[in-house]
């Protein structure tokens, strides 16, 4: 197994591009090193609490080193920058000895000081022809001038913790002839996938983009207030911007190359605006896929890391966006229109029947995992056109209000006193934030009558949505939801019907369950 040492500092420009968070910066290198089968032998990293461009000898700082037992970077010393530089000379000598004895095979240098805190290490690397990769224009120029074997060098502009780490390990793997595939994903939680195709998740993209749609609904509601009608122009701008939001989220999810993927997604989204949110999603996914491909190729071609990031972020977004702009936008826009026409056709045929069916099916859909995969995207497609949604209204009255009714019943008349404690947070969250319908699950799954009551109540509430031809949204406080609808009084009636029906049915079910429990106790006592 190859072993590397990491040397350097939080730097000047680096400080603004990840150096201010040494744990995250160093941990990203550790993650990519693990993927390459490379071991970290030592770390000597001086982290100041401000950019080195303006830091003085009295600036607070810390020295990070490598803790082999926990396999994590740890703080070994804190003090002024001058004190930290003095302390670092000990580890500089130790790393230099490790290089000369063959215990270190490569060096990662980030804004290192080859004439100060890292002088002995760089000298040893020159003597032993140890390969060095690194960033920091001035620092790497000085290291190269000393005759070091530099196999990858770049400035820090345009780089991120992840892209730097991947560049470093890609260069080492090519130099040593070892296999390496970058680990990309939620590296904090351990949910990591090497394949960007496996990270394409329509449900995740839609859920992450939801705040943008709620903002659209809020602007629509406020624009109806007398004197604030000028916000209707803001509403129009937001509708046009939704594909950009979707594209940025999609690119970030698929590529997860931090700011690089976000830039690519935004560029693709701007060019995909004529395709609606479906066009934005296609453009964003395409940009995310291309970011990974172009990034890897540019690193293999030994482009400077800054250039790699510019090409990966800029060119990927342009290519994906132009494909949608010239080829796919009309198709994507038409697909969105078909969904809208289908919903409007069903409502036009019989709004009461459409609301009843939607209400009856929405609980089985969310329990079966279909809601977020199928219904939520349709809700967002509706909101893209008008700022609110027929199915969004059914969501609020049939899921949120019904869940609130069930939990309220278990606060007022629980089967057991402990159930009131469980129900209270769920009720408050549903009423206060318009979400957390899962709070009703414990009561629904433990009582068939409550389960049936939830579906019946949702059907009735959905039917009322059809009666009043309501368009609205969930995921907002219950007191605010009617203000975001096209029919405030109609939405209030529909919401009240869902809450009242589920409340009454659950109260009855709880009373029946308590009587049965008491009868069972009496029978045991008499026996």
Yes or no: say if 165 and 299 are a contact pair by the CB < 8 Å rule: no
Mean pLDDT in the chain?
Answer: 87
Identify whether 491 is part of a domain: yes
Same domain, 155 and 84: yes
Same domain, 188 and 324: no
pLDDT tens, position by position, 288-319 = 999 988 888 887 787 877 788 888 889 999 99
Lowest mean pLDDT among 4-8, 385-389, 484-488: 385-389
Same domain, 508 and 386: yes
Question: 298-312 burial, b for 16+ CB within 10 Å, e for fewer?
Answer: bbeeebbbbebbbbb
Number of domains in the chain: 3
Same domain, 76 and 17: yes
At 192, which helix (H) or strand (E)? Answer: strand 191-193
Identify whether 341 is part of a domain: no
pLDDT band at 175 (very low <50, low <70, confident <90, very high): very high
Higher-confidence residue of 157 and 312: namely 312
Same domain, 160 and 79: yes
Q: Residue 138: CB partners within 8 Å, gap ≥ 6?
A: none
pLDDT band at 266 (very low <50, low <70, confident <90, very high): very high
Identify whether 344 is part of a domain: no
186, pLDDT greater than 90: no
Same domain, 388 and 475: yes
Instruction: For helices 376-386 and 232-255, give the axis angle rounded to 10 degrees.
Output: 150
Q: In the chain, what are the helix, strand and coil shares in percent, each to the nearest 5?
A: 70, 10, 20
Yes or no: say if 505 and 449 are a contact pair by the CB < 8 Å rule: yes
The CATH number covering residue 139 comes to 3.40.50.2300
Q: Tell me the HSE value of 214 on the side-chain side, using a 13 A CA sphere.
A: 16
Q: What percent of the chain has pLDDT over 70?
A: 96
- Round to the nearest angstrom and report the end-to-end CA distance of the chain: 74
Give the mean model confidence (pLDDT) for residues 173-193.
67
- What 3-state DSSP class applies to 477? coil
- CA distances to 108, 147, 454, 455 from 499, rounded to whole Å, are 61, 76, 10, 12
What 8-state DSSP symbol labels residue 231? Answer: G
Q: Residue 525: CB partners within 8 Å, gap ≥ 6?
A: none
Identify whether 316 is part of a domain: yes
Q: What percent of the chain has pLDDT over 90?
A: 46
- What 3-state DSSP class applies to 196? helix
> What is d(CA 436, CA 458) in angstroms, rounded to the nearest whole number?
16
Same domain, 137 and 61: yes
Higher-confidence residue of 228 and 144: namely 144
**Chain position carrying tokens 């209204």:** 393
Identify whether 343 is part of a domain: no
158, pLDDT greater than 80: no
Instruction: For helices 448-467 and 401-412, give the axis angle rounded to 10 degrees.
Output: 140
Indicate the residue among 274, 301, 336 that finishes a domain.
336
188, pLDDT greater than 60: no
Q: What is the pLDDT of residue 290?
A: 93
- Domain with 295 in it: 200-336
Indicate the residue among 164, 193, 222 that finishes a domain.
193
pLDDT band at 189 (very low <50, low <70, confident <90, very high): very low
Can you read off the two tokens belonging to residue 453? 């009551």
- What 3-state DSSP class applies to 512? helix
- Among the ranges 133-147, 288-302, 491-505, 509-523, which has the highest mean pLDDT value? 491-505
Helix ranges (H only) for 374-413 are 376-386, 390-395, 401-412
pLDDT band at 373 (very low <50, low <70, confident <90, very high): low
Identify whether 296 is part of a domain: yes
Same domain, 418 and 479: yes
Indicate the residue among 312, 336, 360 that finishes a domain.
336
Same domain, 215 and 164: no
Same domain, 376 and 507: yes
Q: Residue 61: CB partners within 8 Å, gap ≥ 6?
A: 46, 47, 48, 49, 55, 78, 79, 80, 81, 83, 84
- Which residues is 131 bridged to in the sheet? 149
Backbone angles phi, psi at 191, to 5 degrees: -85, 90
Same domain, 38 and 163: yes
Identify whether 345 is part of a domain: no
Identify whether 342 is part of a domain: no
Give the mean model confidence (pLDDT) for residues 128-143.
90
Same domain, 209 and 158: no
| pTM value > 0.85 | no
Q: What is the pLDDT of residue 479?
A: 86
């Amino acid at each position: 197994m190859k072993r590397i040492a990491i040397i350097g500092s939080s730097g000047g420009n680096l400080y603004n591009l990840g150096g201010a968070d040494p744990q995250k910066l160093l941990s990203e290198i550790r993650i990519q090193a693990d993927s390459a089968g490379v071991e970290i032998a030592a770390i000597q990293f001086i982290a100041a609490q401000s950019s080195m461009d303006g830091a003085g000898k009295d600036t607070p700082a810390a020295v990070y080193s490598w803790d082999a037992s926990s396999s994590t970077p740890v703080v070994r010393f804190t003090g002024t920058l001058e004190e930290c530089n003095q302390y670092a000379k000990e580890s500089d000598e130790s790393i230099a000895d490790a290089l000369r004895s063959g215990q270190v095979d490569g060096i990662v240098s980030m804004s290192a000081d080859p004439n100060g805190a890292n002088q002995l290490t760089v000298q040893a690397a020159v003597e032993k022809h140890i390969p060095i990769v690194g960033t920091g224009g001035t620092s790497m120029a000085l290291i190269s001038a000393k005759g070091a074997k530099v196999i990858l060098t770049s400035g820090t502009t345009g780089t991120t913790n992840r892209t730097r780490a991947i560049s470093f390990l890609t260069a080492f793997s090519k130099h040593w002839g070892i296999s390496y595939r970058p680990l990309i994903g939620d590296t904090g939680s351990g949910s990591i996938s090497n394949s960007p195709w496996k990270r394409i998740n329509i449900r995740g993209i839609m859920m992450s983009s939801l705040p943008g749609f709620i903002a659209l609904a809020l602007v629509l509601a406020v624009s109806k207030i007398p004197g604030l009608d000028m916000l209707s122009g803001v509403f129009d701008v937001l509708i046009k911007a939704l594909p950009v939001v979707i594209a940025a989220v999609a690119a970030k999810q698929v590529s997860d190359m931090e700011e690089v993927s976000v830039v690519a997604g935004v560029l693709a989204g701007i060019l995909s605006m004529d395709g609606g949110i479906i066009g934005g999603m296609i453009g964003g996914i395409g940009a995310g896929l291309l970011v990974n491909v172009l990034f890897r190729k540019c690193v293999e071609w030994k482009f400077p890391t800054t250039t790699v990031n510019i090409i990966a972020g800029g060119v990927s977004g342009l290519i994906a966006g132009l494909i949608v702009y010239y080829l796919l936008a009309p198709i994507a826009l038409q697909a969105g229109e078909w969904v809208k026409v289908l919903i409007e056709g069903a409502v036009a045929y019989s709004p009461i029947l459409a609301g009843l069916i939607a209400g009856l099916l929405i609980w089985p859909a969310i329990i079966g995992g279909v809601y977020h995969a199928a219904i939520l995207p349709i809700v967002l497609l509706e909101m893209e056109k008008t700022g609110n949604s027929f199915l969004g209204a059914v969501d609020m009255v049939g899921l949120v209000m019904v869940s609130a009714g069930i939990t309220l019943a278990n606060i007022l008349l629980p089967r057991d006193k402990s159930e009131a404690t469980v129900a209270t947070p769920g009720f408050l969250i549903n009423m206060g934030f318009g979400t957390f319908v899962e709070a009703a699950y414990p009561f629904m799954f433990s009582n068939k009558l409550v389960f049936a009551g939830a579906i019946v109540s949702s059907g009735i509430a959905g039917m009322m949505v059809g009666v009043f031809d309501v368009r609205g949204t969930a995921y907002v406080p219950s007191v605010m939801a009617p203000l975001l609808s096209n029919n405030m009084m109609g939405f209030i009636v529909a919401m009240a019907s869902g809450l009242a029906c589920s409340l009454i049915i659950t109260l009855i079910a709880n009373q029946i369950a308590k009587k049965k429990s008491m009868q069972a106790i009496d029978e045991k006592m008499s026996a």
